[in-house]
Amino acid sequence: MVDVSVDAMLEDLRILVETESPSRDLDALKASAEDVAGVIERRLGGQAVLVASEAGPHVHWSGGGEPRVLILGHHDTVFPLGTLERRPFRVENGHATGPGVFDMLGGLVQAVHGLAALEDRSGVEILVTADEEVGSRSSRALIEERALACGAVLVFEGAAEGGALKTGRKGCGTFHVAVTGRASHAGLEPEAGVNALIEASHQVLDIAALGRPAIGTTVTPTVVSAGTLDNVVPAGATVVVDVRVESADEKERVEAALAALVPHLDGARIEVRGSVGRPPMPESASAELFAVAERLLPGIGGRAVGGGSDGNFTAALGVPTLDGLGAVGGGAHADHEYLVIDAMEERAHLAAGLVNAIRNT
């Protein structure tokens, strides 16, 4: 195994961060995919293939030979174009900062440089998708195909607090509850209308009551919109709901309960769309690989977290999956996002060690 250069990793990280890549911006994602492919090819050789999709290009690379391990990540970020101008890439005080450094461009760079430290890269595939931040609808089938082909998945999302690996994840999904009422003049005849905002208020309370925090189920109304003018009884309202669950049973219960919501006001109608699109990732899915990581880096620690990733999909297939192997840092999706530079070399070596261990089993 050859040495890993932190300076070279920071050089590649700068390239990726300075090509902004907000989800759903197809032109930006094309440029980002090309940069990701360029970094992979320069460091690992071979050809990184851009896989076209309606959500933007995914990037796939193979080291050849029988597939044994899939390195999984994404190059889309949550930050709109122009964020870089306000918050440019910087390296100072032991941190790298800029949009996407922690979630998850830093992890991609560490994975690539970890592989570059290996003379033999056979049996390894890299898949970097373009739509993880918006549900992975266009990439899920490809993710699942390559995970099943490889038989083990290493996910380079940012680490948990303190650098811990992510050994379990909740299933998560978004629901939209549409309320239809009837408009009327709010001053002349409010009683002639069916107030969708009032109905939505009832629904918010009913929805929030579905949560069971003691067993890890959270059901959280997050966005409500209603009405048109201040003197009109609102004829429509929408409630957006975030759902997180730790078990398949809770997934089914919450989905069924939301589908069964009934109106409180005569004349109101309810329509519910959505699902828990990312199934739970149980800690059993990561147990084997986590034990290997602990041998390679004693004391690294692991924990189950509430956020979802593409590792949820691969774990649900029964493919051993270990997550949180990416950057040590914090502030995902926030202006204070950062990566800890001193941890980069160690995490790159961990990536290389895991790949070797998986291929040798």
Dump pLDDT digits (tens) for 43-74: 999 999 999 999 999 999 999 999 999 999 99
**40 and 109 assigned to the same domain:** yes
**37 and 136 assigned to the same domain:** yes
Instruction: Give residue 1's pLDDT.
Output: 64
**134 and 234 assigned to the same domain:** no
**291 and 177 assigned to the same domain:** no
**62 and 90 assigned to the same domain:** yes
**265 and 318 assigned to the same domain:** no
Is there a domain that residue 1 lies in? no
User: Which has the minimum average pLDDT: 1-5, 62-66, 300-304?
Assistant: 1-5
**157 and 86 assigned to the same domain:** yes
Per-residue pLDDT reduced to its tens digit, 124-180:
999 999 999 999 999 999 999 999 999 999 999 999 999 999 999 999 999 999 999
Is there a domain that residue 349 lies in? yes
Is there a domain that residue 138 lies in? yes
Q: How far apart are the first and last CA of the chain?
A: 19
Is there a domain that residue 223 lies in? yes
Where is the domain boundary, 253, 278, 303?
278
**245 and 133 assigned to the same domain:** no
Say if residue 2's pLDDT is above 80. no
Is there a domain that residue 307 lies in? yes
Where is the domain boundary, 278, 296, 312?
278
Per-residue pLDDT reduced to its tens digit, 72-131:
999 999 999 999 999 999 999 999 999 999 999 999 999 999 999 999 999 999 999 999
319: CATH = 3.40.630.10
Q: Which helix (H) or strand (E) holds 96?
A: strand 95-97
Exposure string of 40-78, with b = 16+ CB inside 10 Å and e = fewer, is beebbeeebebbebebbbbbbbbbeeebbbbbbbbbbbb
**191 and 334 assigned to the same domain:** no
Instruction: Give residue 257's pLDDT.
Output: 98
Number of domains in the chain: 2
Is there a domain that residue 134 lies in? yes
Say if residue 204's pLDDT is above 80. yes
**237 and 130 assigned to the same domain:** no
Q: Where in the sequence is the domain holding 323, given as residue range(s)?
A: 6-169+281-359
Q: Is 144 exposed, middle or buried (0-12, 13-18, 19+ CB in 10 A)?
A: middle
Is there a domain that residue 266 lies in? yes
271: CATH = 3.30.70.360
| The model's pTM | 0.92
Query: In the predicted model, what is the mean pLDDT of the chain?
Result: 97
Where is the domain boundary, 229, 260, 278?
278
The whole-angstrom separation of Cα 225 and Cα 298 is 50
Share of the chain above pLDDT 70, in %: 99
The whole-angstrom separation of Cα 137 and Cα 145 is 14
**285 and 229 assigned to the same domain:** no
Confidence of residue 187 (pLDDT cuts 50, 70, 90): very high
Is there a domain that residue 252 lies in? yes
**23 and 112 assigned to the same domain:** yes
The whole-angstrom separation of Cα 217 and Cα 272 is 19
Instruction: Give residue 3's pLDDT.
Output: 86
